[in-house]
């Protein structure tokens, strides 16, 4: 099949960018979208041009490295699918596809489709953990975890940190990313002692990184390759409000459901 | 409280609380307005009753005023913040989940703010007088105003904007406050939509009825 | 070069205790004077960096990805083993130890494996405390499953994303230390050389992948946790960025490379669909619990699988291995698949595939049960192939998955360069010639959380902190060498892309040093690799410059190392004329085609010393003594 790509090209951080048009006359429907970029890059290199830079690693939808706006949709038209697992059979022969990097003030473009997502690490560093020094843990079965809590925590913990939620959000909000981690740890008994502290610190960091606010468009949920629910944001707001207006002890012991 | 206001989530919470207050007001407002269908005596009596309890009336007005101000200030601040968070727009964007209601919250809010000013000047203070305005003659003022087609049109259009604002707002305020529970979630959107429709229909019925001579 | 494994004295059960007791300690107040460099942020690297930070050492952690959370440990699906015996099914530290030694086909070090089994139980506790959402029973206790043919249920899991959840646990602990300022993280930074001075590892030279700047970091100890070298084969289940550059350059600086020929081929991967294929995707081994593997009896049978009647199908695993059937171990199932495809009976494009059929299981258990067990995997398969495995049998084929070989380390995880420690898949330590399912995660975390923090102190206690500075001449020289190599790659100005060379090298390795190896093939490979490498240095085209984000340049550096490593891999495979574990030499098999070990001549670790460019590597042998487990032939008939 033949596809035409209009790809954002930008030399480096802060440099002006523009779209360039590339034809891929020999695309196969079995290719992944990233493999299509590989093929285009091979042609570019041989013809003496700069290949398109894009982040990618595992190519099985779990590392969260890849991600781009494909025709105005984060990770492209397939629901619950990262760019690396998007195959060309979901496009039509002759399609012209617009490819753009994630756009957010907190995600500056480094080159072409590569952006800096370090802000997400900073949010985790601010509080997205359970303080458990190596060696100090009690037996794994010493604290019971209800199956439902473990399952719900796992739903939220499935986040791959790709940044699609931020890219898709009209406000550039990192609420879904932050809320997923807060939900994951807040649902488990191990996460309770730091629950209030965590949510306050992570939300504050989210603001410091320059992300926008959540206005419940639901674009993040639709873009998420792991289908993480915006109900996690409800939980984040609840925990945050509780942590701010209630005495610490009270919000700490608040029941998880 | 200032601590709450400083965080973006806090501003949203302020918007949710003030939004909820305004929804509650709108429910009372539309219920009162519908008395127009029971004639001049009923509506004027209701108005007189409110005026008679001036303390309560002014308390409600104060709460509403503060709510509107907080709501608007927070909305402006959050909007500016969001602009800063996404300085460069996409060349192409295809919304996947956002609704017309959610996407028009800002422009809708702006229009509503303008409408509120016009509305207060028209029917509360009588500053704008498309038709003769008489103090304490609410029924006559309303009927007189809505007999003019373009006045009725402004109100009808404004109600569509308010209805749309409510479709999203009446659903999302619970979520912003963290009160929504996943189990109740499937019902929340329909309830919010129903509420929006009821308020919209109640408010819209009045100018239309007057314009088409059903109420005179 | 001297290989001293420094295995502590005493009975097996007490060796780790003895070692921890004999190790010198660093006073808590003095720890902040020491700096440890950790390269890699996967399970081993992240857990080591976090734990060392918690202890109070200054840590610099480096990864080439944009975040510490992306290392390829994240893709591990199945689970992590631990000898908890929560199932009351006869498991014990000793049994896990025994299974691992036997599974590794008697080519691993008993003392190391025993320690791994001992520590396995602490790992689960640690991860649970961090909030890893392991699967639970209704009563709230940890759930287990049996995995990879083990007869006890000792595998802990978090859906099909165990690696992801364990890595995120370690990553979060690491981020906590970063937030506290105890660890400095350097993402998008690639290690390009090791600095050795006075016979000790003193630091590393790195390239900032965004700016291209080459700089140095000095440390009192260096720990490499940079993963395996499976990507030498081009197509593998590894992430695209996985590479051997760090360990290879350390090898060239004097670290012995052990058992490079032990490469594990995983039997259940989605087959290659065309020339564009950039990597292979693993389908969890658990599918073999209910799927039946078959191929048509007739060569070139082009009928749709459903139209082939049962008596014209060859359920070859069930036929050859009646007692284990479809659950035969990884190496055996992989080889069997290759055999039938070599006979021309393979299915799918190119004839490199066999069916994994769930029709019988669906008939027996109902589609609902199968959906419950495997839906996420079926969905993934359908996403990639556009075929519905509920209706059409899956097509699978083996693919390179894991490398048991790696830098040689002693009991303390220290390489032959003093002060250089090697962790996780990057070392050779625990899996012998074949790794068991759900053991890689266990080893990575054991090394990082528990072993290195307890052994590095002994090294540091004997070192004067900050003895060497990154401004010293040794570092300048190494930086200059790195810059020169980069310049050399950029200035070749040939016509072929890096990927085209990498693909060719991969095909060569896969055909001559893949699932089964023979003398002629290995000699052919050893003749072709240097020729191809020479062509690479003459014909490769690396666009752009060295002072920007240049992904072609990154790849070129890694591929140039793969060329050198591939040669050593084949040399090791050639020298080991026995079959053992994942290494199958056609010359060494039983009359019915099974692997035959040669314990009399090959019960040793082959540790190769680099003798300089263009010179043959020198083999050192570390004799393996088995005091607890006695040699036996694996049989799954």
Question: What is the Cα–Cα distance from C97 to C111, expressed in whole angstroms?
Answer: 9
Are C417 and C255 a contacting pair, CB within 8 Å? yes
Half-sphere exposure of C435 (CA within 13 A, CB side): 28
Asked if A47 is an interface residue toward chain C (Cβ–Cβ < 8 A), one would say no
Chain-chain contact of A168 with B96 (C-beta, under 8 angstroms): yes
Nearest Cα neighbor of C572 from C595, C597, C605 is C605
- For the record, the structure tokens of A68 come out as 């781009």
- For the record, the structure tokens of C384 come out as 């990639």
Interface test with B, best of A215, A221, A223 (most B CBs within 10 A): A215
Query: Partners of C613 in the beta sheet?
Result: none
Please give, rounded to a whole number of angstroms, the shortest distance from the CA of B103 to a CA of chain A. 7
- CATH architecture for segment(s) C265-400: Alpha-Beta Complex (3.90)
pLDDT score of B136: 82
Interface test with B, best of A126, A216, A220 (most B CBs within 10 A): A216
Domain residue spans in chain A? 3-111, 117-253
Query: Partners of C60 in the beta sheet?
Result: C37, C184
Closest-CA residue of chain A to B14 = A241
Identify all chain C residues contacting A117, using CB atoms and an 8 Å cutoff: 66-67
Q: Within a 10 A sphere around the Cβ of C105, how many other Cβ atoms?
A: 26
What is the SS3 assignment for C267? strand
Chain-chain contact of C142 with A62 (C-beta, under 8 angstroms): no
Are A199 and A236 a contacting pair, CB within 8 Å? yes
Identify all chain B residues contacting A232, using CB atoms and an 8 Å cutoff: none
Are B123 and B141 a contacting pair, CB within 8 Å? yes
Closest-CA residue of chain A to B15 = A215
Question: What is the Cα–Cα distance from A212 to B78, expressed in whole angstroms?
Answer: 8
Are A172 and B85 a contacting pair, CB within 8 Å? yes
Query: Partners of C620 in the beta sheet?
Result: C607
Instruction: Please tell me which of the candidates A103, A204, A221 has its beta carbon nearest to residue B97.
Output: A221
Domain residue spans in chain C? 265-400, 492-602
CATH of C492-602, one of 1.20.58.100, 3.40.50.740, 3.40.50.1820, 3.30.750.24: 1.20.58.100
Chain-chain contact of C131 with A45 (C-beta, under 8 angstroms): no
For the purposes of burial, counting CB atoms within 10 Å of the CB of B188, is it exposed (0-12), middle (13-18) or buried (19 or more)?
middle
- CATH architecture for segment(s) A117-253: Orthogonal Bundle (1.10)
pLDDT score of C300: 87
Chain-chain contact of A129 with C495 (C-beta, under 8 angstroms): no
Please give, rounded to a whole number of angstroms, the shortest distance from the CA of C41 to a CA of chain A. 13
Question: What is the Cα–Cα distance from C54 to B44, expressed in whole angstroms?
Answer: 75
Please give, rounded to a whole number of angstroms, the shortest distance from the CA of B200 to a CA of chain A. 22
Residues of C that are catalytic: 330
pLDDT score of B163: 97
Asked if B55 is an interface residue toward chain A (Cβ–Cβ < 8 A), one would say no
Instruction: Please tell me which of the candidates A60, A63, A139 has its beta carbon nearest to residue C281.
Output: A60
Q: Please give the biggest Cα pair distance in chain C.
A: 75
Q: What is the dihedral of CA C600, C99, C408, C207, to 10 degrees?
A: 150
E strands in C22-82 = 35-39, 58-62, 80-81
Question: What is the Cα–Cα distance from B202 to B194, expressed in whole angstroms?
Answer: 12
Closest-CA residue of chain A to B16 = A215
Are C496 and C533 a contacting pair, CB within 8 Å? no
The DSSP string of C18-36 is HHHHHS----GGGGGG-EE
Asked if A245 is an interface residue toward chain C (Cβ–Cβ < 8 A), one would say no
Question: What is the Cα–Cα distance from C283 to C288, expressed in whole angstroms?
Answer: 10
Please give, rounded to a whole number of angstroms, the shortest distance from the CA of B31 to a CA of chain A. 29
Return the axis-axis angle of helices B149-176 and A231-245, rounded to nearest 10°. 70
What are the pLDDT digits (tens) for B131-149?
999 888 899 999 999 999 9
Identify all chain C residues contacting A151, using CB atoms and an 8 Å cutoff: 133, 136
Asked if B71 is an interface residue toward chain A (Cβ–Cβ < 8 A), one would say no
Interface test with C, best of A40, A87, A140 (most C CBs within 10 A): A140
Chains B and C in direct contact, meaning 3 or more beta-carbon pairs closer than 8 angstroms: no
The CA-atom distances, in angstroms, between C206 and each of A204, C212, C546 are 34, 10, 13
What is the SS3 assignment for C361? helix
Asked if A153 is an interface residue toward chain C (Cβ–Cβ < 8 A), one would say yes
Identify all chain A residues contacting C353, using CB atoms and an 8 Å cutoff: none
What is the SS3 assignment for C113? helix
Chain-chain contact of B180 with A231 (C-beta, under 8 angstroms): yes
- For the record, the structure tokens of A106 come out as 């907190």
pLDDT score of A248: 58
Phi-psi region of C90 (alpha: psi -120 to 50; beta: other; left: phi over 0): left
Identify all chain A residues contacting C449, using CB atoms and an 8 Å cutoff: 134-135
Residue B208, Cα to own-chain centre: how many angstroms? 18
Pinpoint the alpha helices (H) of chain B: 2-6, 8-33, 40-52, 54-85, 100-103, 105-119, 138-146, 149-176, 185-211
Backbone angles phi, psi at C420, to 5 degrees: -105, 115
Identify all chain A residues contacting B94, using CB atoms and an 8 Å cutoff: 71-73
What are the pLDDT digits (tens) for B54-101?
999 999 999 999 999 999 999 999 999 999 999 999 999 999 999 999
Q: Within a 10 A sphere around the Cβ of B39, how many other Cβ atoms?
A: 12
Identify all chain B residues contacting A171, using CB atoms and an 8 Å cutoff: 82, 85-86
The DSSP code for C156 is E
Q: Within a 10 A sphere around the Cβ of C191, how many other Cβ atoms?
A: 26
Identify all chain C residues contacting A150, using CB atoms and an 8 Å cutoff: 133-136
The DSSP string of chain A is --EEEEEEEESSTTS-EEEEEEEETT--TTSBHHHHHHHHHHHHHHTTPPPPP---SSSSSSS-----EETTEET-SSTT--GGG-BGGGS-TT-EEEEE----TTS-EEETTEE--HHHHHHHHHH-S----TT-PPPTTSS---HHHHHHHHHHHT-----HHHHH-TT-B-HHHHHHHHHHHHTSGGGSTTHHHHHHHHHHHHHHTT-B------HHHHH-TT---THHHHHHHHHHHHHHHS-HHHHHH----
Chain-chain contact of A100 with B91 (C-beta, under 8 angstroms): yes
What are the pLDDT digits (tens) for B160-185?
999 999 999 999 999 999 998 877 77
Beta pairing class for C183-186 and C58-62: parallel
Identify all chain C residues contacting A125, using CB atoms and an 8 Å cutoff: 175-176, 178-179
Chain-chain contact of A216 with B102 (C-beta, under 8 angstroms): yes
Identify all chain C residues contacting A49, using CB atoms and an 8 Å cutoff: 543
What CATH superfamily is the domain A3-111?
A: Beta-grasp domain (3.10.20.30)
Per-residue pLDDT of chain A (257 residues), as tens digits, is 999 999 999 999 999 999 999 999 999 999 999 999 999 999 999 999 999 999 999 999 999 999 999 999 999 999 999 999 999 999 999 999 999 999 999 999 999 999 999 999 999 999 999 999 999 999 999 999 999 999 999 999 999 999 999 999 999 999 999 999 999 999 999 999 999 999 999 999 999 999 999 999 999 999 999 999 999 999 999 999 999 987 654 444 444 43
Are C371 and C361 a contacting pair, CB within 8 Å? no
Sign of CA dihedral C499, C500, C505, C509: positive
Q: What is the dihedral of CA C132, C135, C138, C139, to 10 degrees?
A: -50
Nearest Cα neighbor of C246 from C211, C200, C195 is C195
The CA-atom distances, in angstroms, between C494 and each of C528, C540, C563 are 20, 5, 18
Chain-chain contact of B177 with A172 (C-beta, under 8 angstroms): no
What is the SS3 assignment for B188? helix
Question: What is the Cα–Cα distance from B146 to B152, expressed in whole angstroms?
Answer: 5
- For the record, the structure tokens of C106 come out as 């008697």
Chain-chain contact of C168 with A157 (C-beta, under 8 angstroms): yes
Which range among B127-131, B200-204, C116-120 shows the weakest confidence by mean pLDDT? B127-131
Backbone angles phi, psi at C585, to 5 degrees: -100, 125
Closest-CA residue of chain C to A128 = C172
pLDDT score of B186: 81
Asked if A72 is an interface residue toward chain B (Cβ–Cβ < 8 A), one would say yes
Chain-chain contact of B90 with A234 (C-beta, under 8 angstroms): no
Chain-chain contact of A213 with B180 (C-beta, under 8 angstroms): no
Q: Please give the biggest Cα pair distance in chain A.
A: 66
Nearest Cα neighbor of C573 from C613, C529, C603, C606 is C606
Closest-CA residue of chain A to B4 = A244
- Chains with 3+ CB–CB pairs under 8 A to C are A
Chain-chain contact of C125 with A137 (C-beta, under 8 angstroms): yes
Question: Side by side, which strands form the sheet with C257-258?
Answer: C406-407, C257-258, C604-609, C618-623
What parts of chain C have a pLDDT lower than 50?
Answer: none
Instruction: Please tell me which of the candidates C75, C165, C171 has its beta carbon nearest to residue A60.
Output: C75
Asked if A71 is an interface residue toward chain B (Cβ–Cβ < 8 A), one would say yes
Chains A and B in direct contact, meaning 3 or more beta-carbon pairs closer than 8 angstroms: yes
Asked if B4 is an interface residue toward chain A (Cβ–Cβ < 8 A), one would say yes
Are C457 and C53 a contacting pair, CB within 8 Å? no
Please give, rounded to a whole number of angstroms, the shortest distance from the CA of B78 to a CA of chain A. 7
Question: What is the Cα–Cα distance from A13 to C210, expressed in whole angstroms?
Answer: 10
The DSSP code for C230 is G
Identify all chain C residues contacting A65, using CB atoms and an 8 Å cutoff: 65-66, 70
Asked if A203 is an interface residue toward chain B (Cβ–Cβ < 8 A), one would say yes
Question: What is the Cα–Cα distance from B110 to A250, expressed in whole angstroms?
Answer: 40
Nearest Cα neighbor of A167 from A82, A97, A63, A56 is A82
Question: What is the Cα–Cα distance from C225 to C240, expressed in whole angstroms?
Answer: 17
Chain-chain contact of B86 with A103 (C-beta, under 8 angstroms): yes
Question: What is the Cα–Cα distance from C187 to C38, expressed in whole angstroms?
Answer: 12
Instruction: Please tell me which of the candidates C75, C135, C175 has its beta carbon nearest to residue A121.
Output: C175
Half-sphere exposure of A133 (CA within 13 A, CB side): 7
- For the record, the structure tokens of C259 come out as 């058992």
Domain residue spans in chain B? 2-86+98-211
Chain-chain contact of C276 with A39 (C-beta, under 8 angstroms): yes
Does the interface predicted TM-score (ipTM) exceed 0.85? yes
R_g over Cα of chain C = 24
Question: What is the Cα–Cα distance from A224 to A227, expressed in whole angstroms?
Answer: 5
The DSSP string of C298-309 is STT--S-GGGS-
Asked if B41 is an interface residue toward chain A (Cβ–Cβ < 8 A), one would say no
């Amino acid at each position: 099949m033949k596809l035409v790509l209009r790809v954002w090209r930008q030399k480096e951080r802060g440099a002006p960018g523009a779209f360039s048009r590339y034809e891929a006359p020999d695309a196969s429907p079995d290719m992944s979208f990233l493999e299509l970029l590989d093929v285009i890059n091979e042609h570019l290199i041989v013809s003496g041009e700069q290949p398109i830079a894009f982040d990618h690693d595992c190519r099985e939808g779990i590392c969260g490295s890849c991600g781009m706006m494909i025709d105005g949709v984060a990770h492209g038209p397939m629901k619950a699918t990262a760019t690396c697992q998007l195959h060309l059979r979901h496009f039509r022969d002759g399609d012209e596809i617009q490819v753009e990097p994630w756009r957010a003030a907190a995600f500056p473009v480094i080159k072409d489709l590569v952006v800096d997502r370090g802000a997400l690490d900073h949010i985790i560093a601010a509080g997205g953990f359970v303080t458990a020094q190596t060696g100090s843990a009690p037996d794994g079965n010493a604290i019971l975890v209800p199956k439902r809590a473990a399952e719900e925590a796992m739903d939220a913990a499935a986040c791959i940190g790709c940044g699609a939620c931020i890219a898709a959000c009209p406000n550039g909000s990192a609420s879904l990313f932050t809320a997923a981690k807060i939900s994951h740890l807040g649902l488990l008994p191990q996460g309770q002692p730091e629950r209030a502290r965590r949510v306050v610190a992570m939300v504050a960091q989210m603001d410091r990184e320059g992300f926008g606010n959540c206005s419940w468009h639901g674009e993040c949920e639709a873009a998420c390759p792991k289908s993480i629910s915006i109900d996690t944001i409800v939980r984040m707001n609840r925990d945050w409000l509780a942590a701010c207006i209630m005495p610490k002890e009270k919000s700490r012991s608040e029941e998880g459901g | 409280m200032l601590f709450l206001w400083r965080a973006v989530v806090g501003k949203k919470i302020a918007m949710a609380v003030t939004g909820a207050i305004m929804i509650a007001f709108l429910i009372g407002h539309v219920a009162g307005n519908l008395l127009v269908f029971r004639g001049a005596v009923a509506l004027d009596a209701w108005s007189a009753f409110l005026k008679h309890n001036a303390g309560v009336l002014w308390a409600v007005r104060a709460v509403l005023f503060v709510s509107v101000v907080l709501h608007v200030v927070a909305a402006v601040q959050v909007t500016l913040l969001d602009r800063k968070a996404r300085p460069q727009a996409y060349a192409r964007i295809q919304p996947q989940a956002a609704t017309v209601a959610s996407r028009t919250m800002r422009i809708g809010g702006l229009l509503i703010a303008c409408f509120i000013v016009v509305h207060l000047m028209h029917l509360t203070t009588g500053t704008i007088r498309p038709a003769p305005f008489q103090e304490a003659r609410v029924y006559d003022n309303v009927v007189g105003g809505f007999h003019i087609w373009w006045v009725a049109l402004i109100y009808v259009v404004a109600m569509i904007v308010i209805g749309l604002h409510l479709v999203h707002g009446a659903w999302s305020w619970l979520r912003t406050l963290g009160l929504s529970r996943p189990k109740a979630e499937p019902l929340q959107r329909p309830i919010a939509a129903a509420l929006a429709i009821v308020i919209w229909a109640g408010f819209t019925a009045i100018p239309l009825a007057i314009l088409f001579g059903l109420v005179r | 070069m001297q290989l001293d494994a420094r295995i502590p004295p005493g009975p097996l059960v007490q060796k780790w205790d003895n070692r921890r007791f004999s190790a010198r300690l660093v006073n808590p107040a003095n720890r902040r004077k020491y700096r440890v460099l950790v390269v890699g942020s996967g399970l081993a690297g992240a857990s080591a960096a976090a734990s060392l930070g918690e202890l109070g050492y200054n840590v610099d952690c480096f990864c080439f990805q944009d975040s510490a959370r992306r290392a390829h440990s994240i893709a591990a699906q199945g689970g992590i083993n631990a000898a908890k015996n929560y199932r009351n099914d006869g498991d014990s530290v000793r049994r896990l130890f025994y299974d691992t030694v036997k599974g590794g086909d008697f080519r691993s070090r008993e003392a190391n494996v025993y320690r791994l089994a001992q520590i396995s139980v602490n790992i689960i506790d640690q991860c649970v405390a961090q909030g890893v959402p392991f699967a639970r029973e209704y009563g709230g206790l940890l759930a287990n499953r049996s995995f990879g043919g083990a007869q006890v249920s000792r595998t802990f899991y978090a859906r099909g994303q165990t690696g992801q959840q364990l890595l995120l646990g370690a990553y979060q602990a690491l981020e906590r230390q970063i937030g506290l300022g105890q660890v400095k993280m350097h993402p998008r930074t690639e290690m390009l050389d090791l600095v050795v001075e006075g016979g000790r590892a003193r630091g590393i030279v790195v390239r900032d992948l965004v700016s291209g700047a080459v700089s140095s970091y000095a440390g009192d100890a260096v720990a490499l946790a940079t993963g395996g070298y499976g990507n030498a084969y081009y197509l593998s289940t590894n992430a695209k960025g996985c590479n051997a550059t760090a360990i290879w350059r350390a090898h060239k600086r004097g670290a012995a490379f052990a058992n490079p020929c032990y490469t594990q081929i995983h039997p259940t991967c989605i087959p290659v669909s065309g020339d564009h294929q950039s990597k292979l995707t693993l389908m969890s081994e658990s599918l073999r619990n209910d799927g039946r593997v078959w191929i048509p009896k007739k060569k070139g049978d082009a009928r749709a699988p459903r139209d082939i009647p049962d008596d014209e199908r060859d359920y070859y695993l069930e036929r050859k291995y009646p007692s284990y059937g479809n659950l035969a171990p990884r190496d055996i199932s992989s080889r069997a698949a290759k055999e039938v495809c070599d006979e021309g009976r393979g299915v799918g494009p190119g004839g490199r595939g066999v069916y994994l059929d769930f029709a019988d299981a669906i008939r027996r258990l109902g589609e609902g049960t199968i959906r419950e067990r495997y839906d996420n995997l079926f969905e993934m398969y359908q996403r990639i192939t556009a075929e519905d495995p509920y209706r059409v049998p899956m097509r699978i084929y083996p693919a390179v998955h894991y490398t048991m070989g790696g830098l040689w380390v002693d009991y303390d995880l220290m390489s032959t360069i003093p002060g250089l420690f090697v962790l996780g898949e990057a070392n050779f330590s625990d899996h012998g010639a074949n790794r068991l399912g759900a053991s890689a995660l266990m080893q990575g975390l054991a090394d990082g959380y528990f072993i290195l923090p307890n052994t590095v102190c002994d090294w540091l206690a004997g070192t004067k902190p900050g003895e060497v500075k990154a401004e010293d001449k040794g570092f300048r020289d190494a930086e200059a060498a790195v810059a020169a190599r980069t310049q050399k790659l950029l200035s070749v100005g040939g016509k072929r892309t890096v990927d085209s060379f990498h693909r060719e090298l991969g095909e060569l390795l896969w055909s001559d040093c893949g699932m089964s190896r023979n003398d002629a093939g290995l000699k052919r490979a050893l003749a072709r690799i240097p020729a191809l490498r020479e062509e690479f240095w003459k014909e490769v085209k690396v666009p752009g410059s060295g002072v920007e984000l240049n992904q072609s340049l990154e790849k070129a550096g890694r591929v140039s190392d793969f060329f050198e490593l591939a040669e050593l891999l084949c040399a090791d495979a050639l020298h080991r004329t026995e079959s053992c574990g994942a290494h199958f030499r056609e010359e060494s098999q039983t009359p019915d085609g099974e692997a035959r070990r040669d314990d009399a001549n090959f019960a040793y670790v082959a540790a190769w010393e680099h003798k300089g460019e263009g010179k043959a590597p020198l083999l050192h042998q570390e004799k393996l003594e088995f005091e607890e487990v006695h040699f036996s032939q694996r049989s799954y008939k």
